[in-house]
């Protein structure tokens, strides 16, 4: 029996889709069977980030309307074994799907795959309740800025009300340099506010933009720091215990500056 994990954030543009594509690919590279589900009906993107947009024939809407079997709607990613995509319909909108219907799909996928990653749309409305309806666990993606953190906080409250446990945090677009000169919140500050378990920190990496445009998830680029971070998160999801490396700048000067600003 596999796990259904919803990837969500509240705020848009913090890296939900990128994280879903990369974690899905990373888990498949680790030998797991994975389905990534795009729950952003009407504004689908996951197919593009994964480079599968030309191969979509059926969507989750067709499965719900019984136009095709669930297995037939899954698009196989040919680059790695065991990775499938269930695309969202682009011509419908989020109100055309009921949470129970999404839950039924997730429950079916869970019996055949190790991991089902659901890419949630931004917002707290129907799209979010559809995405989280079938979830056992959640990954909340946030960037270290106050607006993303407030939205993440809101989403965590809603996930807790829905009794989705555990809720893990991915801190995305983290810049050691900006933390070093005191203009970005550090890990400890974010965790102090959100008070949930951190499953990984992904550094700011311009490779994400190229990889999105080329439709090749970052994790295939072994040397990229972002790819390494996603691989570590995937390993943690499979139950391996891997410490979170300290990405903060260790330069002496920065530390002195930080020490002074902290103790102001």
Partner 1 sequence: MANPIVTLRAYRDGLHLIIKPRLSIAEVEEAIQQEISRMNRPLVGTSVQIVLKSPVLEEEEISLLRSKLQEDYNLTVRGIDVVDDESVSPPIAAAPTTHSISQTADARAPRNSEPSRIIPHTIRSGQTEEFPQGSLIIYGDVNSGSEVKAGGDIVVLGTLRGNAYAGMNGRLSAVIIAMDFAPLQLQIGNYACRSPVSQEPRGYAEIARIGAEDVIIVEKFDKF
Residues 180, 153: contact at Cβ < 8 Å? no
Indicate whether 195 belongs to the interface with partner 1 (CB under 8 A). Answer: yes
CB of 185 to partner 1, least distance (A): 12
> How many residues in the chain?
264
How far apart are alpha carbons 78 and 254 in whole angstroms? 45
Number of chain residues interacting with partner 1 (CB under 8 A): 14
The yes or no reply on residue 53 touching partner 1 (CB under 8 A) is: no
The nearest distance, CB 152 to partner 1, in angstroms, is 8
Q: What whole-number distance in Å separates Cα of residue 229 and Cα of residue 101?
A: 34
State the binding string over 92-131 for partner 1 (x if CB under 8 A, else -): --------------------------------x-------
Cα→Cα distances 130→65, 102, 234, Å: 16, 6, 24
Counting Cβ atoms within 10 Å, is residue 124 exposed (0-12), middle (13-18) or buried (19+)?
middle
Q: How far is the CB of 167 from partner 1 (least distance, A)?
A: 11
Q: Does residue 14 bind partner 1 (CB under 8 A)?
A: no
Question: Is 27 or 196 the residue whose CB approaches partner 1 more closely?
Answer: 196
Taking the least distance from each CB to partner 1, the nearer of 70 and 194 is 194
Residue whose entry in the numeric block shows the structure tokens 């945090």: 169
Smallest distance, partner 1 to C-beta of residue 14, A: 15
Q: Which is nearer to partner 1, 105 or 155 (CB)?
A: 155
Residue 260 contacts by C-beta under 8 Å, 6 or more apart in sequence? none
Task: Using alpha carbons, select from 164, 152, 102, 168 the residue that is nearest to residue 130.
Answer: 102
Q: Which one, of 111, 115, 125, 108, lies nearest residue 39 by Cα?
A: 125
* DSSP SS3 for 172: strand
User: Does residue 264 belong to the site contacting partner 1 (CB under 8 A)?
Assistant: yes
Tell me how far, at minimum, the Cβ of 263 lies from partner 1, in Å. Answer: 10
- Per CB under 8 A, contacts with partner 1 among 128-157 are 146, 150-151, 153-154, 156-157
Q: How far is the CB of 18 from partner 1 (least distance, A)?
A: 24
Which one-letter DSSP state was computed for residue 264? Answer: -
Beta-strand ranges (E) seen in 112-205 are: 115-119, 137-142, 167-174, 197-203
- Of 41 and 140, nearer to partner 1 (C-beta) is 140
**Position 91 contacts partner 1 (CB under 8 A):** no
Chain residues binding partner 1 by CB under 8 A are: 124, 146, 150-151, 153-154, 156-158, 160, 192-193, 195, 264
């Amino acid at each position: 029996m596999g796990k259904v994990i919803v990837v969500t954030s509240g705020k848009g543009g913090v890296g939900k889709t990128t994280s879903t594509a990369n974690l899905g690919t990373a888990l498949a590279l680790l030998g797991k069977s994975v389905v990534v589900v795009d729950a952003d009906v009407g504004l689908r993107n996951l197919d593009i980030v994964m480079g599968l947009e030309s191969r979509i024939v059926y969507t989750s809407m067709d499965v719900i309307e019984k136009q095709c079997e669930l297995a037939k709607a899954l698009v196989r990613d040919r680059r790695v074994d065991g990775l499938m995509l269930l695309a969202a319909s682009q011509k419908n909108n989020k109100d055309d799907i009921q949470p129970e219907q999404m839950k039924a799909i997730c429950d079916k996928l869970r019996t055949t795959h190790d991991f089902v990653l659901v890419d949630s749309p931004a917002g707290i409305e129907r799209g979010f309740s559809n995405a989280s309806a079938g979830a056992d666990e959640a990954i909340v993606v946030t960037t270290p800025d106050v607006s993303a953190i407030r939205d993440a906080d809101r989403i965590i409250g809603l996930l807790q009300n829905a009794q989705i446990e555990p809720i893990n945090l991915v801190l995305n677009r983290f810049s050691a340099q900006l933390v070093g000169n005191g203009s970005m919140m550090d890990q400890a500050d974010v965790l102090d506010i959100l008070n949930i378990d951190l499953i990984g920190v992904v550094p700011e990496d311009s490779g994400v933009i190229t990889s999105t445009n080329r439709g090749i998830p970052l994790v295939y680029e072994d040397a990229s720091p972002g790819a390494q971070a996603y691989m570590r998160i995937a390993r943690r999801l499979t139950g391996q215990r891997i410490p979170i490396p300290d990405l903060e700048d260790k330069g002496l000067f920065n530390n002195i500056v930080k020490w002074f600003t902290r103790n102001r």
